[in-house]
Structures are given as C-alpha cells and as structure tokens.
Structure 1
Amino acid sequence: MKIKEHIDNLIASGNYEPGDKLPSETAFARELDVSRASLREALRVLEKEGKIIKTQGVGTFIAEPIPRFKKGIEELFSVTDTIKKEGYQAGTIGLEVASIIASKKLAIQMKVKPSTKLLQLKRIRTADGKPVVYCEDFLNIELFPLAETENFTASLFDLLENKYGLKIKYALTEINPVIANQKLVSKLEVQPNMPLLLLKQLHYDEKDQLFLYSKNYFRSDQFQFRVLRTR
C-alpha cells in the first residue's frame, strides 16, 4: 500500500500525466527500490481503481481520471445535492460574504442599475473534504431580504426556497472550458493550467425575475456533464 500511495502521489504531483507510459516492472522496481512482487501488487490495485491501464505486449499507462460526478446538464441541480447523491459528504470552505454595488459590467449581466446593491458569495464546495467546485454567486437582494449573516455553508437553493419562499424556475447556462489560473490552483488544489469547466448561470424565479448570477468552476477530473440531444 505504501508503494501504491507513492505512485498515487507521483500522479497527483504531475510527475506522471494521463497517457504517460510507466517504466517496465524491472526498471520501475529498481527506481522505487522495491521488490518486483510488491510493485506488481501495487500496480494491480491501481489498475483495479482505474488509475492505470495495462496493455499486453505494449506496457502500462496512466489512465485518464474518471469523474466522480456525472450530471445531465438539462437538469438544474444543487452542487450540495449532487455530492450527497453520490454518497459523499458535502462541505464548504473558504466562505467569503460581502455586500457590493453592481459594477457597470455586472449590472448589464444581471439587468439591474449600476447602483444596485448585491450580495456576493465566494466559497469552495468539497466532497469528503476535497475541493471540487469553486463558486462565485451574485444575488439581487433587492428582491428578498437575504442577510450577510445567513448560513451559506450548505445548499443556497435550499436556503432560498425553504426560508425565503423563492421558487426557482429555470436558469440560462453558458459552459466554457477554462484553465486553472493562480487563484483557481489555490482554491481547487489542482495543477497550473489544468482544464476546468466554467458554468455561468442566470437564475430566474417563477415571476421570471433574475435573482442570481453564478460562476461555478468545476474540476474536470471530478465532474462530467452530458446533454440529451434529439432530432
């Protein structure tokens, strides 16, 4: 297990990337200063976990990471509920809450006057303590009396619906591939320039009022989105 954990760390640190070929068992055992039998057992466990792929007569390769969360993009989902449904404990770290005045750009995005007061939330959502999504939310608090002192560590959707009676009807979503900059590397504990999925969403209530603009950065090695297309 120590050998397996060491190889895990080599992959996590970027020493080996998806598609890279591992050295032969003899060379790798010599490099790690372990027996071939112990190395072979560690590789067997890694293969079972889907982290490496063995091809007879070709070699052993680092596998593409398997996303833990697979969602239909047509469904308006709560990150908290998504994490819980997969059997993980949902959490929040790095919470920042602030009242701000909408900038000209943000006002255009949210269809409000530049002087409009908004509530800005920044938080990192975790699954079993591991960062998986970085969220930035902007709420039009002129529509409901949401205070900075609220508990924003759980589902924002649940808070708005259950406490404030807000009926969330739909969201217009834009999906953009981005790479992790210095801020996102720190927030999500990923390698620099790692691909991420950015979902920009405009959320509307049952009165067709735009009440929330969100930017959610999903780790692409943890989340996979799909959509049903018909003809």
Structure 2
Amino acid sequence: MDILKHDKRPLYLKIKEHIENLIDQEIYEAGDKLPSETAFARELDVSRASLREALRVLEKEGKIIKSQGVGTFVSKPIPRFKRGIEELFSVTDTIKNEGFTPGTRGLEIKKTKIDKHLALKMNINEDDQILKLQRIRTADEKPVVFCIDFLNTNLFPINIDDDFSHSLFDLLENKYDLKIKYAVAEIIPVTAKGKLMEKLNVKKHSPILLLEQMHYDEQERLFLYSKNYFRSDQFQFKVLRSR
C-alpha cells in the first residue's frame, strides 16, 4: 500500500500499525481469521518476511493468536479495567486509577415512580417519586459504562440541578453527608441490543456485564438501586475466594 511506503519507520512496524487499525475499525473482529500470509502480503503490497515480523509482534502483544495448521485469528481485547468485585468502587475512581480521564455523556434526570417490587425493597410507597438518573460514563471519551440509578430522595433532599457528571458517591458523601456502608451486588451477563448498542457504541449481541446493586447506608436503609452495564471488552471483575 502506498500509505505504508511513504512512512519512514521500519516496514514491519508500519504493517503492524495498519493491522491494528483494521482491528480497531472492526474490519477484522475478535475471533475473525486473518488472510493467509501470502494473500495478506499481496493485499498490503509488502513482502511476506515483513508481514511475518509484524504478525510476530502482534502475537507477542496478545492481539492475534496463531494456531498451527489452522490459521491466524484476532484475539479478544484485554480489558483495560480490572477490579475486585468485593470492593465498593465508583466508576469515576476506577477510570482515574487506570490513568484515563472520566467523562459523562447523555445525562438524563427525572422524577419517576417505580414498580411495586422495587418500592417494597426501598421501603417507599408506590406513589412516591424517586430520582432516576441515566448517563454514559466514558474513559478518554470512549463509552465504557451505561448507568441507570434510582435514588430514594425521601432520605435526603437531593437537588435535581446538582452536578451529576462526576462520581455519584462523592456527591452523596460530600454534599449530603450520606455514609455509604455496603452494597449487595449481582453480576448478570447480557448481550447488547437496541439501547445498549447505541449507548455503548457496540455491535448487536456484544457481551455486556450488568452489575445490579442495592446500596445501603449506615442505618441499613436502601438509598440507591443501580444497574450498570459494563462493556466486557473494557471491564473485568474478579472475586477473592478463600477457604
């Protein structure tokens, strides 16, 4: 390719970067088989030796997998964020701790009624309104989590005009002096459809990790029910199990 020839870096590095771009653009997706070395070298208009060196580096970095006698495949992306599920963390802090800049998109705030099941859990009447908060959390402007939060505003006079673009935990603890004690969490594997495809910018049926949580304060009151949809190619949760 002409674009490779005008770049002054070693050819194998240019080929490597070009293949990475093809993967980033989802021209080749996780699990896809790459063309044979002969066909790929012809497609890129490069020597097989240079292509082979580029593939060697990509394999070393874990971006492709070679299977003897079968072919070369695009590997699944390594999650950028790895957290122990036993830790009660904010999405904002998780993103910051990995060196990325957290952000918020598509913020929606409204007062709403909730279903009978959730009203019972939160110890409120079905006719009472709570605050529903929806937003997309980003890392370096890339969408990584879609958050839906239900706040029991009967417990604290939260202002609908508050700044919800940052950590919700920080807002509740620092402005409203709410003492967060623990959360009961459930991890549910789901696949992206409709709204999730749009919010997280993923393809249909992409694997998503739903972290459904009920948060309690020091007085054992359920003040927050949340549903956070994490891109599984960006987040990985682990649990410490002891005996």
Higher-Rg member (1/2): 2
User: Could you tell me which of 88, 98, 112 is aligned with 1:76?
Assistant: 88
User: Could you tell me which of 111, 114, 123 is aligned with 1:99?
Assistant: 111
Check if 1:208 corresponds to 2:225: no
Counterpart contact for 1:14–1:191, Cα < 8 Å: no
Counterpart AA for 2:19: I
Counterpart AA for 2:235: F
User: Could you tell me which of 148, 152, 157 is aligned with 1:145?
Assistant: 157
SS at match of 2:94: helix
Q: Distance in 1 between matches of 2:72 and 2:161?
A: 53
1:143-182 equivalences in 2 (<5 Å): 143-182=155-194
1:132, distance to aligned residue in structure 2 (A) = 0.6
Structure 1 residues 23 and 162, CA, compared in 2 at 3 Å: closer, same or farther? same
1:122-181 deviation per Cα after TM superposition (whole angstroms, max 9, x unaligned): 001111111110000000001101111100000000000011100000001111000001
Check if 1:87 corresponds to 2:108: no
1:42, distance to aligned residue in structure 2 (A) = 4.4
Counterpart contact for 1:102–1:113, Cα < 8 Å: no
Cα RMSD, aligned residues only: 2.2
Q: Distance in 1 between matches of 2:117 and 2:14?
A: 52
1:118-129 equivalences in 2 (<5 Å): 118-129=130-141
1:29, distance to aligned residue in structure 2 (A) = 1.9
Equivalent residue number for residue 218 of structure 1: 230
Equivalent residue number for residue 37 of structure 2: 25
Counterpart AA for 1:228: L
SS at match of 2:215: strand
Aligned residues: 231
Counterpart AA for 2:196: L
1:53-110 deviation per Cα after TM superposition (whole angstroms, max 9, x unaligned): 3456664221121111111101101110011001111111111111112233432343
Q: Distance in 2 between matches of 1:166 and 1:174?
A: 23
SS at match of 2:146: strand
Check if 1:130 corresponds to 2:142: yes
Counterpart contact for 2:209–2:232, Cα < 8 Å: yes
Q: Which consecutive unaligned segments of at least 5 residues does structure 1 have?
A: none
Q: Distance in 2 between matches of 1:91 and 1:213?
A: 21
Check if 1:43 corresponds to 2:43: no
Equivalent residue number for residue 9 of structure 2: none
Counterpart AA for 1:121: L
Q: Distance in 1 between matches of 2:199 and 2:53?
A: 35
1:112, distance to aligned residue in structure 2 (A) = 1.9
1:9-65 deviation per Cα after TM superposition (whole angstroms, max 9, x unaligned): 543455434333322221112234444455445435533542113456664221121
Counterpart AA for 2:156: F
Counterpart contact for 1:180–1:192, Cα < 8 Å: yes
Structure 1 residues 223 and 97, CA, compared in 2 at 3 Å: closer, same or farther? same
Give the TM-score normalised by the residue count of structure 2: 0.86
Give the TM-score normalised by the residue count of structure 1: 0.90
Q: Distance in 2 between matches of 1:183 and 1:12?
A: 22
More displaced 10-residue stretch of structure 1: 157-166 or 4-13: 4-13
Q: Distance in 2 between matches of 1:45 and 1:94?
A: 39
1:116, distance to aligned residue in structure 2 (A) = 1.5
More displaced 10-residue stretch of structure 1: 200-209 or 32-41: 32-41
Q: Distance in 1 between matches of 2:107 and 2:93?
A: 19
More displaced 10-residue stretch of structure 1: 206-215 or 5-14: 5-14
